[in-house]
A = this chain, B = another copy of it.
Amino acid sequence: MKIGIIGSGNMGRSLGILWAEQGHDVFFGARDLEKGKAVAEAGHGTKGGTNDEAAIFGDILLYTVRGVNPAEVFSSTEVLSGKILIDCNNFDIPEGFAFPPIVQSLAEKLAAEVPNALVVKAFNTMAQEVFELAPTPLKDYEVSVFVAGDDSQARQVVMSLAKDIGFAPVDCGALRNARMIEGVGDFIRFLLISQLQNPYTTISVNTLPPAQQQRLGGRQTSNLH
């Protein structure tokens, strides 16, 4: 697939290289043309240039520019029309990790700013360091990537891109659910930075093999309290 990276910082560079290694065509965009080109020196057939060029190049775009309205990033948001736009961003971390309640997710805000794009939330619940482990041996860990977006086909594409580089994608349905996913992003950053102090902290959602018998006498229906 043709992937454009919008803002080629740590997050964008890492994911872009990983996708390029898997045979995808990647274009690194940056506000500064020279920076985009410099990142593309990582090789694997990647190209680099401006954010406009990256957006025009890609069918799928990774939007790494936190909290910036696309109207300020591109010469015109028309370049995003019909594109799948992956939002991997989280809110700023407040003093003492005292995150305010999430009333509207960053992903929903982005979708409101560019209604002509297909916004998908993903890749906001792990630190860049984790990408160093992709795709092998990351596959062993089954690290979850939570994917939410209103277009189910766009969601499937992003889930497939997550799988390509060793993650275990989890379909999280509609874009509104990005509120929960961004809450998980806040939580994992709190654990990673404040509690466990380990950037390789990850979340895995697993479905365990069922019990052989209902030995504690529980009901058969799910009853998470």
Contacts from A to B (Cβ < 8 Å): 10-11, 13-14, 17-18, 42, 64, 66, 88-90, 97-99, 101-103, 124, 126-133, 141, 143, 170-173, 176-177, 179-181, 183-196, 198-211, 213-219, 221-225
Contacts and interface: CB of A to CB of B under 8 A. Distances in A.
B222 A127 contact: yes
Given A101-B103, A172-B195, A180-B99, A225 B13 contact: no
B180 A132 contact: no
A193 B173 contact: no
Top 7 closest pairs, chain A to chain B, by CB: A101-B101, A132-B211, A127-B224, A199-B222, A183-B183, A200-B208, A180-B187
A203 B200 contact: no
A200 B211 CA distance: 9
A210 to B, nearest CB: 6
Given A171-B195, A187-B180, A216 B131 contact: yes
Given A11-B223, A88-B225, A199-B221, 19 more contacts: A10-B225, A13-B216, A13-B217, A17-B216, A99-B180, A101-B103, A128-B218, A131-B216, A132-B210, A141-B208, A170-B191, A180-B187, A185-B224, A188-B224, A193-B222, A193-B224, A201-B205, A201-B208, A202-B206
B173 A183 contact: no
A99 B128 CA distance: 29
Nearest to A196: B207
Contacts of A221: 199
A126 B143 CA distance: 18
Nearest to A210: B200
Contacts of A13: 216-217
19 contacts: A18-B216, A97-B177, A98-B176, A101-B102, A101-B179, A127-B224, A128-B223, A132-B214, A132-B216, A132-B218, A141-B208, A180-B186, A183-B183, A184-B187, A185-B224, A198-B207, A200-B208, A201-B207, A203-B206
